[in-house]
A = this chain, B = another copy of it.
């Protein structure tokens, strides 16, 4: 049966000061009135009942995550003792869902993306899931690029292998690192490159086979955790999890997988990876000012202004991101918005933990 596994472990420093250690991006209501995580769960509810929707987060965030998802049984929210990258995360999740359902098929999704067309999203997910259920192998969903984006990794599609509903599953030719601008333009024109979305489908057993073959140390650790069982196993989990090899699904498992697929999809996707990316999802006034919360903008242009429980007055400014919360404020040019990571580092160095 289909189990949806939502990866909700992100720390989200890119949305400081709205995001904090204990309130990362997936727990923020950045776009709508619901958190990104709750919206992600809502989106997959037509695909699986609540007891087959699993959320993997950090142990520290497990309680806040459960509070955010009253419709999901508490024991479906899994808390990792520490983050060990995505390969360990999906391997552990595969074992947990297999406990009750040895034939489980996993649809693995990030918790913090925005999808414009939910109907097309679900159709695509169903096609991908049906493919791996029938043919095995590991499938990654690839987003058809809409701009020469240099901030994402890409997938190159191989031969078409089949599909339905106007969607075609391809062999996955290879993973491609983040390109420069010229290369990104060539990918866009070429048509055989997709954005690497971080959404996957596989049978739990197929994933575990690939882990056993390619990452034997990870497999051994996961076996110890699985052997300890759910109830008495928390101590073993706490002991073993920090020792698991740290690698990603893409590089640790997908790249070397014996059978790997990609399904090109197009349903209005954003990973909301930065304040400017969020700005793209907010309506702009005629001067290009995009706001969220209580904002007074006078003669401002091309700004993103967010008032999170704070009133913000922006006068005569341009090309700026302004984000205000009751205890911390960020002001940065739109073009430099990624430098928020430096701010978080500086705050750590200063020991100003109360705003981290």
Give the interface residue-count category, chain A.
Answer: 35 or more
A339 contacts the other chain (CB 8 A) = yes
A186 contacts the other chain (CB 8 A) = no
State whether A316 touches B329 (Cβ < 8 A). no
- In the bound complex, residues from chain B placing their C-beta under 8 Å from that of A343 are 296, 298, 313, 315
A350 contacts the other chain (CB 8 A) = yes
Q: How far is the CA of A347 from the CA of B310 in the complex (A)?
A: 13
- In the bound complex, residues from chain B placing their C-beta under 8 Å from that of A322 are 329, 331
Q: How far is the CA of A355 from the CA of B294 in the complex (A)?
A: 11
Centre residue among A298, A313, A315, A322 by max chain B CB count within 10 A: A313
Partner of A331, one of B17, B311, B312, B342: B312
State whether B333 touches A313 (Cβ < 8 A). no
Q: Which 3 A-B pairs have the closest CB atoms?
A: A315-B332, A324-B329, A313-B343
State whether B328 touches A327 (Cβ < 8 A). no
State whether A310 touches B298 (Cβ < 8 A). no
Q: How far is the CA of A12 from the CA of B106 in the complex (A)?
A: 62
- Given A313-B329, A315-B342, output 10 extra A-B contacts at Cβ < 8 Å: A296-B343, A311-B327, A312-B329, A313-B328, A313-B332, A317-B320, A322-B331, A324-B324, A324-B329, A331-B331
A31 contacts the other chain (CB 8 A) = no
- In the bound complex, residues from chain B placing their C-beta under 8 Å from that of A313 are 16-17, 328-332, 340, 343, 346-347
Q: A315-B339, A315-B343 are in contact. Are A326 and B329 (CB under 8 A)?
A: no
Q: How far is the CA of A336 from the CA of B329 in the complex (A)?
A: 21
Q: A327-B326, A332-B315 are in contact. Are A342 and B310 (CB under 8 A)?
A: no
Q: A296-B343, A296-B346, A296-B350 are in contact. Are A326 and B326 (CB under 8 A)?
A: yes
- In the bound complex, residues from chain B placing their C-beta under 8 Å from that of A329 are 307, 310-313, 322, 324, 329
Q: How far is the CA of A307 from the CA of B352 in the complex (A)?
A: 14
A314 contacts the other chain (CB 8 A) = yes
For this complex, 20 residue pairs linking A to B, each with C-beta atoms less than 8 Å apart, are A17-B311, A17-B313, A296-B343, A296-B347, A298-B339, A298-B343, A298-B346, A310-B327, A311-B329, A312-B328, A313-B347, A314-B331, A315-B330, A315-B333, A316-B336, A316-B339, A317-B320, A317-B333, A326-B326, A326-B327
Centre residue among A17, A317, A329, A355 by max chain B CB count within 10 A: A329
Partner of A332, one of B294, B317, B332, B339: B317
Q: Which of A279-310 contact B (CB under 8 A)?
A: 294, 296, 298, 307, 309-310
Give chain B nearest CB distance to A67 CB in angstroms. Answer: 24
Q: Which of A255-297 contact B (CB under 8 A)?
A: 294, 296
Q: How far is the CA of A17 from the CA of B294 in the complex (A)?
A: 14
Partner of A320, one of B294, B328, B331, B339: B331
Nearest neighbor of A342 in chain B, beta-carbon distance: B298
Nearest neighbor of A344 in chain B, beta-carbon distance: B313
Nearest neighbor of A352 in chain B, beta-carbon distance: B311
Q: A317-B331, A331-B315, A332-B315 are in contact. Are A310 and B296 (CB under 8 A)?
A: no
Q: How far is the CA of A350 from the CA of B311 in the complex (A)?
A: 12
- In the bound complex, residues from chain B placing their C-beta under 8 Å from that of A355 are 311
- In the bound complex, residues from chain B placing their C-beta under 8 Å from that of A298 are 339, 342-343, 346
